Amino acid sequence: MILVDAVDVTMTRPDRALFDRVSLTVSTGDRIGVIGINGTGKSTLLRVLAGTVTPDSGQVRFGRGVTVSVLDQEAVLPPGSVFAAVDGGDGSSERWEIEEVLQRIGMGDHLARDTGSLSGGEAKRVALARALVQPADLLILDEPTNHLDLDAIEWLENRLAAHRGGLILVTHDRHLLDRLTTRMLELDRGAAFVHNEGYSGYLEARQARQVEAATAEAVRRNLARTELAWLRRGAPARTSKPKARIEAARALVDGRAEGPARPADLHLEFPTPRLGDIVIELEAVELATPDGRVLCRDLELRLDNRERLGIVGPNGVGKTTLLDVLATRRKPDRGTVTIGSTVQIGYYDQMGTALDPTARARDVVAGPHRSPDWTDARLLEAFWFDADAQWAPVATLSGGERRRLQLLRVLADRPNVLLLDEPTNDFDLETLRALEDFLQDWPGAAVVVSHDRAFLERVVTDALIMDGSGRAFRYPGGFAAWDEARRSVAARRHAVPTAGRAPAQRGSPARNRSSPRRTGSGRSASTIGHLLRQAEKELTRLERDKARLEQRLVEAGDDHERLAAIGTELAEVTAALTSTEERWMSLAEEQESGPGS
């Protein structure tokens, strides 16, 4: 069944065309990812396909009786409670489903909260819930993974995979695109390219298109050299035929193949002040919410001067709060924070620095205290703001372009410690890949809070896990190693043999309320709690041993015998620490499984 048919749709801005004569037919079962660099009109195209924006030219026709549910880039919610905003007031959604979806995306405790009190990220999640629970033949979602934690993203991925209608989405989540899409629509400087094999097919076709363009340019240059030599020898006669050839030759010589929309690499080059041995150190730090809920306790953290640390955990466990402490925006409730004398911090937070919509991009980068100069122009150009974009008012920039400008404002201060809170939100795929490459080679230290799985896999070397129970611990090997370990734990938990378990009988007597509560393994909750406390004590001891050995390595200098002996001991402690962390995770999973799991 055809859900929507767009024919020759065109949209323009005052300064340029967004896309020209784009045609697309979406049928039941299609899952289409829309991609392109920031400013190419992805969000605008989704609004056109949803019928909320009329194109400058072209037609959009919907199938008879087709229902469409939309998540817009800008979340606008009606006044009232969160529950009412998701329900929509038409009674088309069941209460249990609304509550379940809100719970899955981390808003289950906010049903009665007024929508006017929500943060931007919370409003986006509520808008996503509203789009998901409304019965729809066609789902149109603009950056649905923004502000979701890892568990919520995985749940959303599975829910969308089970959707039987059509799906159109804009997302920077490469895992989501790779699993879900059956077709990709690429917007590139007004043109549209449709790839029929999902995300992997798009990557292959894009590479083939670049190779084809490079080959065509090589042929053009060879012909141009031949024609240029002919022109220099002089035309033999001024007949119409030589004149035509002269014009063709000049056109060939003067012609240029269209280059890529952006340079292949992000060439951000600026002097980064050298970091000393002390960067940022946290000792016995405790963080708590205003109502007294402990986010983490006894946190010991020492950042290396080439640190690549990812902070991982569900929403609400204090990741941003910890970044605020590292940035000295707030003090810990307990413990001490030491900042090295050479440290210059750049903090890119979730909401970004507020930008004056009337300010020009070049003025934003220069800051309020000086006039922009050639160094600002060079930095803007390196971050893909051409001469026209540098003079463009902020109000004319796309959401992704504004976020890119906000990041550039942070980098313009030449920090040597970068704190990045959800840096991937609203960035296009090329910007993400370029930012990943930049962070891998950057000489400073970086701490990242992100739920983008591909970004974490490429950038971070260690992960700091915050689990919501007051525990925060470093996991060597980065996000990928931790994610593999937790999936292994979950797989083992779900693979518990059930052959020896007696089937539950209807009408059987209830368990004695005074008997010890049992987990899925049969061990009592008190036993699991005791084992968890033992594991926590062991983790604290091993982390201190590891820090002590690392300090001894520094003190050993060039004494190779001492270095070898300490290195062997450090390897043993690190292995024991990893093993104990996995045991702690397994026990925590067992505790969460509850009785009768």
In the sheet that holds 57-62, the strands lie side by side as 17-27, 2-12, 57-62
Q: What is the pLDDT of residues 129-176, one digit of tens each?
A: 999 999 899 999 999 998 898 889 999 999 999 999 999 999 989 889
Number of C-beta neighbours around residue 349 at 10 A: 19
pLDDT value of position 555: 75
Average pLDDT over residues 467-484: 83
In the block, residue with structure tokens 């292959």: 204
Instruction: Find the range with the poorest average confidence among 87-96, 247-256, 321-330.
Output: 247-256
**286 has a pLDDT exceeding 70:** yes
Torsion, Cα of 371, 373, 379, 384 (10° steps): 90
Contact status, residue 262 vs residue 38, Cβ threshold 8 Å:
no
Give the pLDDT band (50/70/90) at residue 247. low
Q: Summarize the confidence of residues 287-308 as an average pLDDT.
A: 90
Cα–Cα distances (Å) from 411 to 179, 271, 377, 451, in that order, read 34, 11, 14, 22
Left (φ > 0), alpha (ψ -120 to 50) or beta: where does 285 sit?
A: beta
- Could you write out the three-class secondary structure of 347-372? EECCCCCCCCCCCEHHHHHHCCCCCC
**Token pair in block for residue 378:** 């060079």
Q: CB 174: neighbour CB atoms within 10 A?
A: 18
**E strands, 131-277, in order:** 138-142, 166-170, 183-188, 191-195
322 has a pLDDT exceeding 80: yes
Closest residue by Cα to residue 465 from 539, 531, 563, 561 = 539
Burial category of 456 from C-beta neighbours within 10 Å (exposed 0-12, middle 13-18, buried 19 and up): buried
Crossing angle for the helix pair 198-233 and 240-254, nearest 10 degrees? Answer: 130
Strands 57-62 and 68-71 come out as unpaired
Rounded distance, CA 133 to CA 271, Å?
A: 50
Q: What is the DSSP letter of 390?
A: H
> Do residues 143 and 425 lie in contact, with contact meaning Cβ atoms separated by under 8 Å?
yes
- CA 102/CA 104 separation, integer angstroms: 5
Nearest-CA neighbor of 60 among 23, 6, 21? 6
User: Lowest mean pLDDT: which of 165-169, 254-258, 373-377, 561-565?
Assistant: 254-258
